[in-house]
Amino acid sequence: MALMTGTQYIESLRRLNTRVYMFGEKIDNWVDHPIIRPSINCVAVTYDLANDPQYEDLMTATSNLTGKKINRFAHIHQSTEDLKKKVKMQRLCGQKTASCFQRCVGMDAFNAEYSTTFEIDKKYGTDYHERFKKFLEFVQENDLVVDGAMTDPKGNRSLAPHAQEDPDLFLRIKERRADGIVVRGAKCHQTGSINSHWHIIMPTQAMREEDKNYAVSFACPSDAEGLYMIYGRQACDTRKLEEGADVDLGNKQYGGQEALVVFDDVFIPNEYVFMAGEYDFAGMLVERFAGFHRQSYGGCKVGVGDVVIGAAALAAEYNGADKASHIKDKLIEMTHLNETLYACGIACSTEGHATESGSYIIDLLLANVCKQNVTRFPYEIVRLAEDIAGGLMVTMPSEKDFKSDLVVGKNGETIGDVCNKYFAANAGKCSTEDRLRILRFLENICLGASAVGYRTESMHGAGSPQAQRIMIQRQGNIEGKKQLAKHIAGIHK
């Protein structure tokens, strides 16, 4: 099959029987639901860009499994050049959508699974790697979106999976059969889960022998029997339900998506099982996926950051403040922070190396440094954007007020007349509506629904800050650095 287009992708979702719930109700036509559709549009961009000759080098790759041209989001990295192109592709997608385009988790799961299953087979003589390769060939041939799902609800964080009062708070193998396994539990915060054709599930942390039933990894279709999803609430989400909503939406066309994915005794055939009790490899799979996903943030968040910087510069221009030295300095600082994130993403890619399977992995220390910066810099970028934009970003009347013909003034002025009069700014550069559009856009990306794809996700996506600090401590080689100091200082013991 040739690469799908964005339109073909959207139509392919209609053929799924995915069970989706939101606001306490079942959503039958979730593909066209006004709250969900912007996130689907975001994924569609990853298809359309792959079909654009201008971006072919970044958006497509040659499969190491089949030799065919595929979407890079389904590719196994074969070199450091592949790793760098991944980051550049993600920056491009962020620039085009100013939101979360959702396919990174699946791509990062593929690459973590590929090398980890190879090493499990080497130790235990299993055939997980061949199973996974067959599944990936199927994904590549059909140009599918696969959600990578790792995060369990976890319950009481001080207790191991097997010690939880409710055993379902970590996804587990409930039953083993000759032809497969039955799994029960849930995965939460799942990016793009509803928009995916399939899911690939991974353990959420390193495991011990008593937790071996929780050391499970597998793939299953999004509409598998017993699987359903509950859509995650976002700030300002019901604005999308307002009749004629436009300016007030900010980013009207694109958005992110998160959901709780529930496995209510779902049967998984053996051909889609890639780990089933090999607890000693759970940590490896988690670390490799986390490393790849922390690299990803040096691309996607940078692309969105490019748009934030552009929007802040426009807001300054529309306010008539773009010549002020402090505005220029703030834009410089935003650019410096954004490019530092990108530099980290490129650095951990450039310093990557081959795994035993032949696929390439990033430098894990630098990937964790990249994500640690991402937990901080976007917050400063957003703070500066809000500073530049001014308070009107969060205090302006609604779009309906600007269009209202209700007479309120002594001379026959309508509410719309009054709003348009008093919220005009740099008339030589913009209309009042254009000024409102850029301010609503900044509100959306800094505080509203797109915070899922930028600000808040920068903190908790791919692991919270402490998770990176733990990895930095493990990989920072403090003992080696102490030896360097001893040698130069003349200490010989």
Q: Active-site residue numbers? A: 100, 104, 191, 258, 293, 297, 300, 457
Do 468 and 366 contact (CB within 8 A), yes or no?
A: no
Cβ-Cβ contacts under 8 Å for 493 (sequence gap 6 or more): none
Distance of CA 249 to the CA centre of its chain: 21
For residue 318, which of 436, 451, 445 has the smallest C-alpha distance? 436
Q: Please state at what angle helix 377-389 crosses helix 364-374, rounded to 10 degrees.
A: 30
Residues 91, 99: Cα–Cα separation, whole Å? 11
- Structure-token match 């302006």, residue found: 396
What is the token pair recorded at 429? 């550069």
Up-side HSE of residue 3: CA atoms within 13 Å toward CB?
25
Q: 308-340 in b/e burial notation, b at 16+ Cβ within 10 A?
A: bbebbbbbbbbbeebeeeebeebbeebeebbee
- Cβ burial of 280 (10 Å; 0-12, 13-18, 19+) is middle
What is the token pair recorded at 319? 């306010």
Q: Give the pairing of strands 227-231 and 259-269.
A: antiparallel
Residue 477 gets the label, from left (phi > 0), alpha (psi -120 to 50) or beta, of: left
Up-side HSE of residue 14: CA atoms within 13 Å toward CB?
8
What is the token pair recorded at 404? 């209202």
Tell me the β-bridge partners of 70: 61
- Give how far Cα 51 sits from Cα of 45, 86, 103, 125, 427, Å: 10, 17, 16, 41, 40
DSSP letter for 363, please: -
- Give how far Cα 480 sits from Cα of 451, 470, 486, Å: 40, 18, 10
Residues 420, 236: Cα–Cα separation, whole Å? 23
Residue 29: strand, helix, or coil: coil
Do 170 and 164 contact (CB within 8 A), yes or no?
A: yes
